[in-house]
Amino acid sequence: MRVRVAWMAGVVWLAWASMALGWASREQPPAPEEGVAEEPRREPPVLEAGLRARLEEIDRRAQSHVDLRAEFEQRKHTPLLRRPIVSSGTVRSKGGVALWETQKPRRTVMRIDEREIAIYDPVEGSMEVFPSEEGVRKLSATPQPSLGSVLERFAVEEIGAAEMLGGEAEAGRRLVGLSMTPTDEELRRRVARVRVLLDAERALCLRMEVTDAEGERTEIIFKKIEVGVGLTEESLSLVVPKGTRVSRPLDGLTPSGGGSGGGTKR
């Protein structure tokens, strides 16, 4: 499997999608380790009072989200192609872990947690493992970010839900459309803009769109979203067959075998 030039941009939007399916974190951030200086706090951009109130309401509703399962369709728009590249599959998330299984047009599995991103290609029998960069790690440490953690790294403004729907009807729902521009320097190198469409009643993301720093746009639409489905640790693990080539391209390590017994497990 080749190392993709824009792999981190893809990981950023996958991490965002993992988070945006739910909206609020139930866990408090961990206390800083002894002897490790805390980063200076940055004042978040000012958010319009009415919008803040509605997002805080979504925060409160999302407190009940323990885990989540959904189908997704991804549409990647690039200036090099006249039509978008379409893929689809399922996503499961709980706590700090998200497991994305793409079924069409080619099966791949991506597991994201607060430490690393593992991408498994069963056709090529290989898996690439990347460390989570600090900015991505902070955002993807939970699939349900707090409003505060979003505002620390993005300037947020409301947009019409119709801009996200593209003419498709979503009758009977309280929808909130958001456009978010990174204020975090690390994220700004990867992402130009994020737009999301939230279901305010269920505190879930229905759609999102990420435009990367190169101008490529990726849409993702979530369907059949279920919360509180009782996901287990096993259902979020990534087990690959023995003999799978495992590499860490950014570490410059030599590919290794997939381990013993049933293979490598994450």
Token pair listed for 30? 């961990």
Contacts of 166 (CB under 8 A, 6+ apart): none
CB burial readout 235-254, b (16+ within 10 A) else e: ebebebeeebbbbbeeeeee
Q: pLDDT at position 188, please? A: 84
Question: For 154-169, how does the pLDDT look when each residue is reduced to its tens digit (9 = 90+)?
Answer: 899 999 888 887 655 4
Question: For 84-99, how does the pLDDT look when each residue is reduced to its tens digit (9 = 90+)?
Answer: 999 999 999 887 788 9
Q: How far apart are CA 136 and CA 141, in angstroms?
A: 8
Q: By the 8 A CB rule, do 16 and 198 touch?
A: no
Within 10 A of 231 (CB to CB), how many other CB atoms are there? Answer: 18
- Tell me the fold of 7-23+45-251: outer membrane lipoprotein receptor (LolB), chain A (2.50.20)
**pLDDT beneath 50: ranges in the chain:** 1-12, 19, 22-30, 135, 137-144, 169, 253-262
Q: By the 8 A CB rule, do 180 and 149 touch?
A: no
Token pair listed for 20? 């945006």
Question: In what helix (H) or strand (E) does residue 69 lie, and over which residues does it extend?
Answer: strand 67-77
Residue ranges of domains in the chain: 7-23+45-251
